[in-house]
Structure 1
Amino acid sequence: MKNRSASLANVLGVIVCVAVAASLVPRTILKQRVQARSSACSSNLKTIGLAFHNYHAAYKQLPAGTGGTTGNDDPAKSNQGLLGPLVGLLPFCEQQRLWEQVSNPYENKRVGVAFPPMGPIPLFAPAAYEPWGRGPDIYRCPESHPRDQAESTEVIRSLQLPITAMGVTASYVASYGDGTVMQGKVIQGRPDANEARNRRAANRGAFMTSQSLKFRDFLDGLSNTIFYSEVVSSQKRDPGVSEIVRDVRGLSKVPAYCLRAAEVDTKQFWEFGRGSCWADGRPVYTGFQTVLPPNSPSCTSEHGMEEPLVSATSLHADGVHVLIADGSVIFITDDIDAGDPAKAGAGIGPDYLQPGMQSPYGLWGALGTRANAETNDVQFPQATSRPRSSNRAPMNASVWTDKTRGAQLTAEFIEIKDQKTIRLKHASGTIHEVPLHTLIPSDIYRAIEIDVMRKNPPGN
């Protein structure tokens, strides 16, 4: 009898162990996939960084934030100087075939249209000018597309989420530094003296529209200056993820207005999403500023796309990868010191920060400037080795969107309960329990990723 009892106990023990192991497999698999995608995103940035260095070695300068052909008002006969750095980088990213299509005359016999070298404007229909519809995979992070996350866990599979291919988006965005004044203005020809003076004062980042920079311009040192980062990209705005709030008056003088505007029910949006056109170099598409901290909203002022305030964003938990100008890649958390968003950026005039002064946007702003004598004060945070905290500050609250009604709730993530319900904490202290399947796909994936990473912090 004792032997039978012992055997039964052993069998029950094995069953319990198997059950526990089986319950851990989905989370283990998800953690591995999250880490693999994060690693792939970082690897892409490193490749892009190497390509920029090779470009500089070949041409003794970097590609301009926007550039290309001008002199013809026909959008099919000139790209109007709107091409971004990623276009010129093609031959240095093993995209020689696509580069040859872009840099040579291109004829689409199917629609009967011929295009000059360097193509039409980046927003020209990709069905007619096919190169703009062939964004290279190296320019897209595996985690940057909010609707391409259908296979990660049993929870997601059971919801049958859609997978959408985004052929012309870009996940990686150029740093325009801590400037807030007219960072998106594209200049045709030579600027006049006053405009040139204003640009020198306000454009303090690694890239500028309509102008190329050289490594010698990075007086703070390449290892102290952010070059590129990432963005959650979508051809059309994705609520709470890739959208851009428009017509925020006084934005350049008070960047905090963007944070407030994002919370207002009557806010208006641009129809396109961040990163929606990989070939267009304007900051509103493929740029960002080190003003508001990572994963903040993006806005434009009353001056439209010429005056954006756009943020680096990602679907990674709690931060973004950034490419440093020396070619290294680090992970910066959302709670990096970003100074005072109520202060204006550098510019000419009594209401703006005087040229040469320290960035008002803390460490984040200092890392964005290329020549502001901040070398001695800059130390990179060791974010990749920092444990994830389960008690996030209210400033890290996110927008959660109902997929049916479009209703939004700004709240911080607490946990996923029973793999069916997400628990959220509003700034008022109210706890909301929301069925997971009622959220938009990107929010579901984000919640699962954060939950997994918190329960399995780095090093475990």
Structure 2
Amino acid sequence: MKKVFHKPAFTLVELLVVIAIIGILVGLLLPAVQAAREAARRMQCSNNLKQLSLAQHNHADVFKKFSPSTNDTRWKTEFNDTNSWNRLGLFTTMLPYIEQTALYNQIAPYGLAGGRPWTSDDRTNSSTGTVIASPYKANISAFRCPSDGAQIAPNTPMPTNYVGNRGDLYLRTHDWEWRGVFSNGERGKADFGTITDGTSNTIMFSETTIGKNSGTPLQDSILTSTTVNTLGSIGGPFTPSLCLATKGPNNTIAVQGQNSTGSTGWGKGRRWGDSANCYTGFFTIQAPNGPTCALGNAEHEAIPAASSFHTGGVNSAFCDGSVHFISQSIDTGDLTFTVDTPSNTRTYAGRSYWGVWGALGSMSGGESSTYQE
């Protein structure tokens, strides 16, 4: 009699168990993969900030000063005191020190042909007929954090995820800044000698998430717009907690404000070549990933907070060239305090009002706060 042997096979129950186990393993693996990818992105972001701080060191070696944040007098000379020279930001003069000399050499000809830090169309030199491409539509990898996936349309001014420290007291773009490292160039320029609090105690650069275009309500997980006009008075009394109160659930803006022209939202960081506060500056008042508010004009009267898509804080480069991760829970002092003495806060030269975070933003406030990760 012939025997019939059946090949062993999975039962339906066994198959379902195997599928369930595979699903559990994939579920466990995906967060680990995502965490590893974010760790790599954060490391690249930290390296970018390191390179920018070293670029400023090299700039200081050559010019004996750091780049000014605005009103850079070398552009005033190049542009014959015309063509919005005062709107060229600190990143324009850094280009030769991040291997972008060719791009740097386009800036003056483009400006003389009528180009601006907010334009991206080609211009023609009226004397020679030479067509000059906009340097501002160059997407520079050294200015971008890979954790921020903001998509910017081509042939438009390109953004930056890195911003310069303007200090711990509210100032408009062209005010005579001396609390932070990057100042108004007509007032003077900071150097290593002016950082009396110590280079290891003073921030040079931090991060910003790239904000949305004008008119677009905030939907992101991080506050990215400069839309709320409720902080106090320009150059006078102001209360940071009024801005903090605009932070709603899940890091969204609870109050959608308007700037003085009636249009909502000028996106943070959206022009690397522009010196306006909301594009290339930040203040150490609101904690990292806190709200950004503005008084009146949202470009020049914004008070940007440092922000990133890294979990729990931001990377920051210090004046000694080191890079640290700053927690969003860092001490910010009493943000309900109203600064009203002296009447013009821009002249204040004492210790920071805003705890450790404020102290790290002031270069000569007399504090000795050193941030420990």
Q: Who is 1:286 aligned against?
A: 280
Contact 1:247 1:301 in 2 (8 A): yes
Q: Who is 1:391 aligned against?
A: none
Instruction: Give the alignment partner of residue 122 of structure 1, picking from 117, 138, 142.
Output: 117
Deviates further, 335-344 or 237-246: 237-246
Go from structure 1 to structure 2 and tell me whether the alpha carbon gap of 1:327 and 1:249 turns closer, same or farther (over 3 Å shift): closer
Rounded Cα–Cα distance in structure 2 between residues aligned with 1:344 and 1:203 = 21
Pairing 1:184–2:173 present: yes
1:211-226 counterparts in 2 under 5 A? 211-226=188-203
Pairing 1:337–2:331 present: yes
Contact 1:347 1:354 in 2 (8 A): no
Rounded Cα–Cα distance in structure 2 between residues aligned with 1:72 and 1:58 = 18
Q: Who is 1:35 aligned against?
A: 39
1:306-325 counterparts in 2 under 5 A? 306-325=300-319
Go from structure 1 to structure 2 and tell me whether the alpha carbon gap of 1:116 and 1:266 turns closer, same or farther (over 3 Å shift): closer
- The superposition leaves residues 254-300 of structure 1 with CA deviations (integer Å, 9 ceiling, x where unpaired) of 12222234555452254420001110122221100000101111111
Q: Who is 2:363 aligned against?
A: 370
1:197-346 counterparts in 2 under 5 A? 199=176, 203-210=178-185, 211-234=188-211, 236-237=213-214, 239-240=218-219, 241-248=223-230, 250=232, 253-261=238-246, 265=255, 267-268=257-258, 270-302=264-296, 305-344=299-338
Rounded Cα–Cα distance in structure 2 between residues aligned with 1:338 and 1:248 = 19
Pairing 1:133–2:137 present: yes
Contact 2:316 2:326 in 1 (8 A): yes
Instruction: Give the alignment partner of residue 96 of structure 1, picking from 89, 95, 101.
Output: 101
Contact 2:210 2:270 in 1 (8 A): yes
Contact 1:139 1:172 in 2 (8 A): yes
Rounded Cα–Cα distance in structure 2 between residues aligned with 1:345 and 1:206 = 21
> Structure 1 residue 139: deviation in Å?
0.5
Go from structure 1 to structure 2 and tell me whether the alpha carbon gap of 1:248 and 1:254 turns closer, same or farther (over 3 Å shift): same
> Structure 1 residue 367: deviation in Å?
0.6
Contact 2:332 2:358 in 1 (8 A): yes
Contact 1:62 1:214 in 2 (8 A): yes
Go from structure 1 to structure 2 and tell me whether the alpha carbon gap of 1:308 and 1:331 turns closer, same or farther (over 3 Å shift): same
Code of the aligned partner of 2:242: Y
Go from structure 1 to structure 2 and tell me whether the alpha carbon gap of 1:281 and 1:16 turns closer, same or farther (over 3 Å shift): same
Go from structure 1 to structure 2 and tell me whether the alpha carbon gap of 1:124 and 1:221 turns closer, same or farther (over 3 Å shift): same
Rounded Cα–Cα distance in structure 2 between residues aligned with 1:170 and 1:314 = 12
Consecutive unaligned residues of structure 2, counting only runs of 5 or more, are: 1-6, 124-132, 248-252
> Structure 1 residue 337: deviation in Å?
0.3
Rounded Cα–Cα distance in structure 1 between residues aligned with 2:256 and 2:21 = 54
1:405-424 counterparts in 2 under 5 A? none
Code of the aligned partner of 1:49: S
> Structure 1 residue 358: deviation in Å?
1.9
Contact 2:118 2:157 in 1 (8 A): no
Code of the aligned partner of 2:195: F
Rounded Cα–Cα distance in structure 2 between residues aligned with 1:73 and 1:93 = 23
Rounded Cα–Cα distance in structure 1 between residues aligned with 2:122 and 2:115 = 12
Go from structure 1 to structure 2 and tell me whether the alpha carbon gap of 1:320 and 1:345 turns closer, same or farther (over 3 Å shift): farther
Higher strand share: 1
Rounded Cα–Cα distance in structure 2 between residues aligned with 1:38 and 1:221 = 26
Code of the aligned partner of 2:112: P
Rounded Cα–Cα distance in structure 2 between residues aligned with 1:343 and 1:362 = 12
Go from structure 1 to structure 2 and tell me whether the alpha carbon gap of 1:332 and 1:72 turns closer, same or farther (over 3 Å shift): closer
- The superposition leaves residues 209-260 of structure 1 with CA deviations (integer Å, 9 ceiling, x where unpaired) of 3342111100011100011100011461561532112432615511222223
Go from structure 1 to structure 2 and tell me whether the alpha carbon gap of 1:347 and 1:67 turns closer, same or farther (over 3 Å shift): farther
> Structure 1 residue 26: deviation in Å?
2.2
SS in 1 for 2:267: coil
- The superposition leaves residues 129-185 of structure 1 with CA deviations (integer Å, 9 ceiling, x where unpaired) of 52111131110111224x45xxxxxxxxxxxxxx966861111001111112x3422
1:388-399 counterparts in 2 under 5 A? none
Q: Who is 1:157 aligned against?
A: none
Contact 1:255 1:309 in 2 (8 A): no
1:26-105 counterparts in 2 under 5 A? 26-68=30-72, 69-70=75-76, 78-103=83-108, 105=109
Identity %: 28
Pairing 1:144–2:148 present: yes
Rounded Cα–Cα distance in structure 1 between residues aligned with 2:303 and 2:64 = 30
Q: What count of residue pairs does the alignment treat as equivalent?
A: 334
Q: Who is 1:402 aligned against?
A: none
Contact 1:346 1:355 in 2 (8 A): no
Rounded Cα–Cα distance in structure 2 between residues aligned with 1:46 and 1:381 = 18
Go from structure 1 to structure 2 and tell me whether the alpha carbon gap of 1:346 and 1:220 turns closer, same or farther (over 3 Å shift): farther
- The superposition leaves residues 313-369 of structure 1 with CA deviations (integer Å, 9 ceiling, x where unpaired) of 1111111111111111111111100111223458742x8598343211000001111
Code of the aligned partner of 1:82: R
| TM-score, structure 1 as length reference | 0.64
Pairing 1:358–2:343 present: no
SS in 1 for 2:239: coil
- The superposition leaves residues 362-409 of structure 1 with CA deviations (integer Å, 9 ceiling, x where unpaired) of 00001111012212xx13132xxxxxxxxxxxxxxxxxxxxxxxxxxx
When the two chains are superposed, the root-mean-square deviation of aligned CA atoms in Å is: 3.3
Larger RCO: 1 or 2 (CA < 8 Å, sep 6+): 2
Rounded Cα–Cα distance in structure 1 between residues aligned with 2:42 and 2:153 = 20
SS in 1 for 2:286: coil
